[in-house]
């Protein structure tokens, strides 16, 4: 990466903002980071920077919550599908680290942000049928993994599926931390050795500062979520078009 002071400050500001969002609502770090970094960095380079901040913050989130064994029993189909879907994405040529088309990856990221923004603004939760939870979870894992390989964003459709399980808030946050941790590891594997790990480690500093600030903010949750999802719609439209 070029050691341009203005570029370094911009990257630090992005990770500070992404950390603040995660501190407030428990998710959004990769979405915000990839969306904003995608304005001035190639998707693969942006994803490589995001690996360590995402992994550390999600490990912490995954380690706190309710009954971990019960949660893993509910989530195992999704967790198996995530790395398989990422590997599938790389195999079919949409992975960012394997010579995939950067513009297509950027358009894919824009579309993912728009879909996530619309889903969030609709304020609806999906309901799962009485049977077939495992098959649906595995399918969601495969699709989320493929989108992870192509865009570096791993919220769709994994997060709606987790919400449909009817988990209480602490368990839902822990489940998202587990899912995002597996997705981050799968993304790191798809990128191979091409990442700038020192730069990713340095990005931890503004990320953790932003997350600490976000956890102290007392914004009304409904207002913040609406502003967040509106911003994702605008950012996604910019990246797509």
Match 């007392």 to its residue by tokens: 218
Confidence of residue 93 (pLDDT cuts 50, 70, 90): confident
DSSP state of 217: -
Residues 138, 74: Cα–Cα separation, whole Å: 11
What is residue 3's predicted lDDT score, i.e. its pLDDT? 65
Residues 140, 150: Cα–Cα separation, whole Å: 15
Quick one: how far is CA 206 from the chain centroid?
A: 18
Confidence of residue 168 (pLDDT cuts 50, 70, 90): confident
The pLDDT of residue 92 is above 90: no
What is residue 145's predicted lDDT score, i.e. its pLDDT? 94
Q: Indicate the average pLDDT of the chain.
A: 85
Confidence of residue 183 (pLDDT cuts 50, 70, 90): very high
Of the chain, the end-to-end C-alpha distance in Å amounts to: 26
Tell me the C-alpha to C-alpha distance, in Å, between residue 151 and each of 45, 205, 206. Answer: 11, 24, 23
Q: Whole-model pTM?
A: 0.86
What is residue 197's predicted lDDT score, i.e. its pLDDT? 81
Confidence of residue 99 (pLDDT cuts 50, 70, 90): low
Structure tokens at 96: 């960012």
Residues 29, 127: Cα–Cα separation, whole Å: 26
What is residue 179's predicted lDDT score, i.e. its pLDDT? 96
């Amino acid at each position: 990466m070029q050691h341009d002071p203005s570029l370094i400050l911009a990257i630090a500001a992005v990770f500070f903002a992404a950390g603040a969002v995660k501190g407030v609502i428990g998710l959004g770090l990769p979405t915000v980071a990839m969306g904003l970094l995608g304005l001035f960095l190639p998707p693969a380079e942006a994803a490589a920077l995001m690996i360590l901040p995402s992994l550390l913050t999600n490990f912490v989130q995954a380690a706190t919550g309710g009954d971990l064994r019960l949660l893993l029993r509910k989530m195992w189909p999704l967790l198996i599908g995530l790395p398989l879907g990422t590997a599938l994405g790389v195999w079919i040529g949409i992975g960012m680290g394997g010579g995939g088309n950067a513009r297509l990856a950027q358009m894919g990221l824009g579309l993912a942000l728009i879909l996530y923004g619309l889903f969030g603004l609709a304020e609806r939760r999906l309901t799962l049928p009485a049977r077939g939870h495992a098959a649906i979870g595995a399918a969601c894992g495969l699709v989320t993994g493929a989108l992870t390989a192509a865009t570096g964003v791993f919220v769709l459709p994994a997060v709606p599926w987790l919400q449909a399980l009817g988990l209480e808030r602490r368990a839902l946050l822990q489940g998202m931390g587990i899912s995002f941790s597996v997705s981050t590891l799968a993304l790191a594997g798809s990128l191979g050795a091409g990442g700038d790990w020192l730069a990713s480690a340095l990005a931890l500093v503004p990320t953790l500062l932003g997350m600490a600030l976000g956890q102290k903010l007392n914004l009304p949750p409904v207002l913040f979520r609406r502003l967040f999802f509106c911003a994702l719609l605008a950012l996604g439209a910019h990246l797509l078009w």
